[in-house]
Amino acid sequence: MDQKDSPPPPNKDERRPSTPARGDGPFPRWALWIVAGVLAVLVVSTLFSPSGNETEITYGEFLQAVESGDVDSVEYDNNNGKITGQFKDEEEFRTTGFLEGFPASDRALLDENGVLIDPKTPSPNILLSILPIFVPMLLIVGVLVWIARRQQSQMGGIMSVGRSKAKTYTTERPGTTFDDVAGYAGVKQEVTEVVDFLKHPNKFNEIGARIPKGVLLVGPPGTGKTLIARAVAGEAGVPFMSVTGSDFMEMFVGVGASRVRDLFNEARKMGRAIIFVDEIDSIGRKRGAGLGGGHDEREQTLNQMLAEMDGFETTEGIVMMAATNRPDILDPALLRPGRFDRQVVVPLPELDDRRQILEVHIKHKKVAEDVDLGVVARGTPGMSGADLANLINEAALHAVRAGENRIHASHIDAARDRVLMGQKRESMALSDEEKEAIAYHEGGHAVCAAVLPHADPLHKVTIIPSGMALGITMQLPDREQHIYRRNYLEDRLVVMFGGRMAEELVFGMSSTGAANDLLQATNMARKMVSEWGMSEHVGPMAWGADKPIFLGDDMMQTREYSEHTARVLDQESLRILLEQEERSRALLDTHRHGLDLVARALLEHETISGAEVHRLLDLASQETGESPPVDVEPIEVDVEG
């Protein structure tokens, strides 16, 4: 299924109709400004452009034309000294004279040649007179209006800060139903009651049954909790209001509680609806666990949510759903009956679920015939729906890079290696000594994994640097495991020590390459002793189990066990590690020739499969008669001393 922790973009017919923005309509706001600008340009060009088709001549040419008797009449402007006139051939002209009028000699010349003179003093243009005053005032008024609108919008934003940020999806045409959720038949059955209540509430009211007010979806990231919530809304045919826990938090005090009230008020107006809060642990953490007291913004938001859920009536038709991957840190008041009184676990998909999810993600991709989704599902234990979607996408990218037009099985294998082991760093320069050390290190892991009866099957061994590792030994379980027996955990420890013991056996010393192996082995041994009761000396007691971490929650609390008990736990963990290390050393010493063959194959080919490792071990057994390893006697460790 399309497993995602965030709802996909809704269709256009699923969104709430949005309010048109200011200025939207038949004519946008920018078109009005363009029209006003064009009109202003036309007015200015009309006022300041010369009118008519007069010929421009100089004042000297004008006097020469007067002496020649070619000028018939002139018109003199007393304001600016401009002279316009007409020749005797009726051609018009213009020139510029003196502001104080015609000189006496020029006036006599005009009179002698019979030129008609018409001095005028035109009245000033009203528009040109007020334009220098009107334009600055208009600019000042425009700036003031802009500032006022900015302040109004800011005040409106502050006043609306308490509004809910929930996205509402109507279900006139439901976009997501249970058919879109691949697998998870048990989860669907759990939430079917919610769908039936929203569809047929009278059936429950007649018998007096009370539907859970809150449904908490619990599961690892990427398992599709949000998708299941949207499918419930789609099946029920009611509005779906989606919001995340962080949407309630703001820098202002009281905003979170205000948004919670607004969210529930909007839901009540819809009659029947589903409120979905994703990542509710961001606001639903245990109260009173911090150093700052119980009056911070997050706790007030949680208090308001608890009060709103208590205000529900059984006939309101409002169901609240939430998703989290940390139910252990939620406040107990949030999980009591009457609030989130039903928890639906959405686990990692099983084998059949993974196959159905792969079918959904590969539906719209071109796939070759050699791809067997059943094999892919068996080779991807522990992957969530989001991981499987990423796997198929990586396989498509590998196919494109290889120049293929279809996804082949080899592309899916390469994508799985990329997801599990990281990007290969083939350009990393390693010396011959380092390559040999890495080959024997990974060969030690591979030999232990191939020989031990309770270890996971060996899939692939490589000495090509990938991610942060210089080499990787990859094991893939052949079945789903939900509990782990002690012999399986001990064999895992032997495999972890295989690389370190191989280096000591071949080179006589260890290296820093086993740092991560030692860290994982130490953590597993500590859990075997302190949490899983796998130590005969400690007995069936659990010490130091993982607890949620809160600032100041356990600051004043003491340990639940004494210093002597802590010493016993450390000694028992050390005993388990030394026992499995000795088993690893004895196993590799017995299969030394097989270890050499595997290391040489890695130096030659860099990557070999698990089947090739088994073939090399069988070949070594035929050549040297190597027998399976014998059990190693436990090492006695002085716990008391």
Helix (H, G, I), strand (E, B), or coil: what is residue 495? Answer: helix
The span from the CA of 192 to the CA of 212, in Å, is: 12
Q: Tokens in use for 293?
A: 């007291």
The CA distance from 214 to 340, in Å, is 4
The structure tokens listed for 436 are 């040999």
Sheet of 273-278, strands arranged across:
167-169, 240-244, 273-278, 318-324, 214-218, 342-345
* Alpha-carbon radius of gyration of the chain: 43
Q: Within its chain, how far is the Cα of 269 from the centroid? A: 32
| Strands ordered across the beta sheet of 607-609 | 472-475, 458-462, 607-609
d(CA 564, CA 630): 35
The neighbour count for residue 492, using CB atoms within 10 Å, is 22
Q: Is residue 28 classed exposed, middle or buried when 0-12, 13-18 and 19+ CB atoms within 10 A define those classes?
A: exposed
Distance between CA atoms of residues 191 and 196, nearest Å: 9
- Identify whether 504 is a catalytic site residue: no
| Residue given tokens 């010393």 in the structure block | 509
HEC profile for 281-317?
HHCCECCCCCCCCCCCHHHHHHHHHHHHHHCCCCCCC
326 alpha carbon, distance to own chain's centre: 19
Which candidate in 279, 308, 394, 442 is catalytic? 442
Q: Which residues are catalytic?
A: 442
